[in-house]
C-alpha cells in the first residue's frame, strides 16, 4: 500500500525580498487616529556599542523591523516585535503589524476605539501604521 505524506503548502517569502533587521527599530508616538493610524517618530540603528538616529532610506520595502509605538498619556509603549516595511515615500514609512503581544494589541485597540468614540467615527484598523520619520 503506498504511503502518502499529508502536508500543507504554506506560501513562503523569498529570502531576496524579505529580511529581518534586528538592529533597526522605529520609535514613534501615535499622532492621529482617523481612517488609519499615523505616528511621528524616527528610525534608530542599534549596535553593540551604541544607538544612533538614522534616516528612513536605511529601510527597504519587505524588510522586517521592530516598532515602539508610544500612546499619548500612557507611560509605556506598545511593543510591536515584528512589522513589515510596506512602502517608503519621502519621509513616510508604511508598515504592517505582524507580531504584537495580546496585551499590547488589546491596549492599542482600546486606545483607538476610545479615540474613535470621541469623534463618532469608525475605529481605525490597528494592523497598519503610517509613520512620519
* Per-residue pLDDT tens over the stretch 74-109: 788 999 999 999 999 989 999 999 999 999 999 999
Asked, for residue 18, whether it belongs to a domain, the answer is no
Domain carrying residue 95: 41-132
Asked, for residue 8, whether it belongs to a domain, the answer is no
Average pLDDT value over all residues in the chain: 83
Rounded Cα distance, 74 and 111, in Å: 10
- At 116, which helix (H) or strand (E)? helix 102-118
Residues near 57 by beta carbon (within 8 Å), at least 6 away in sequence: 88
| Coil/strand/helix, residue 24 | strand
Asked, for residue 124, whether it belongs to a domain, the answer is yes
Asked, for residue 127, whether it belongs to a domain, the answer is yes
Asked, for residue 104, whether it belongs to a domain, the answer is yes
Band (18; pLDDT cuts 50, 70, 90): low
CA 21 to chain CA centroid, Å, is: 13
Asked, for residue 17, whether it belongs to a domain, the answer is no
> Which is more confident, 4 or 68?
68
Q: What is the residue whose three cell numbers read 523569498? A: 14
Asked, for residue 1, whether it belongs to a domain, the answer is no
- At 108, which helix (H) or strand (E)? helix 102-118
Number of domains forming the structure of the chain: 1
Range of weakest confidence among 36-40, 69-73, 113-117, 121-125:
121-125
Looking at residue 120, its pLDDT comes to: 72
Asked, for residue 33, whether it belongs to a domain, the answer is no
pLDDT for 66 beyond 60: yes
Do strands 77-89 and 92-100 pair parallel, antiparallel, or not at all (unpaired)? antiparallel
Looking at residue 33, its pLDDT comes to: 83
Band (60; pLDDT cuts 50, 70, 90): very high
Amino acid at each position: 500500500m503506498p504511503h502518502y505524506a499529508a502536508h500543507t503548502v504554506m506560501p513562503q517569502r523569498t529570502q531576496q525580498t524579505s529580511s529581518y533587521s534586528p538592529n533597526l527599530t522605529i520609535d514613534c508616538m501615535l499622532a492621529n487616529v482617523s481612517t488609519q493610524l499615523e505616528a511621528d517618530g524616527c528610525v534608530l540603528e542599534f549596535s553593540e556599542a551604541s544607538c544612533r538616529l538614522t534616516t528612513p532610506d536605511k529601510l527597504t520595502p519587505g524588510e522586517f523591523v521592530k516598532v515602539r509605538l508610544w500612546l499619548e498619556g500612557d507611560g509605556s509603549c506598545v511593543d510591536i516585535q515584528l512589522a513589515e516595511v510596506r512602502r517608503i515615500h519621502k519621509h513616510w514609512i508604511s508598515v504592517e503589524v505582524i507580531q504584537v503581544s495580546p496585551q499590547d494589541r488589546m491596549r492599542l485597540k482600546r486606545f483607538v476605539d476610545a479615540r474613535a468614540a470621541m469623534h463618532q467615527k469608525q475605529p481605525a484598523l490597528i494592523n497598519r501604521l503610517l509613520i512620519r520619520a
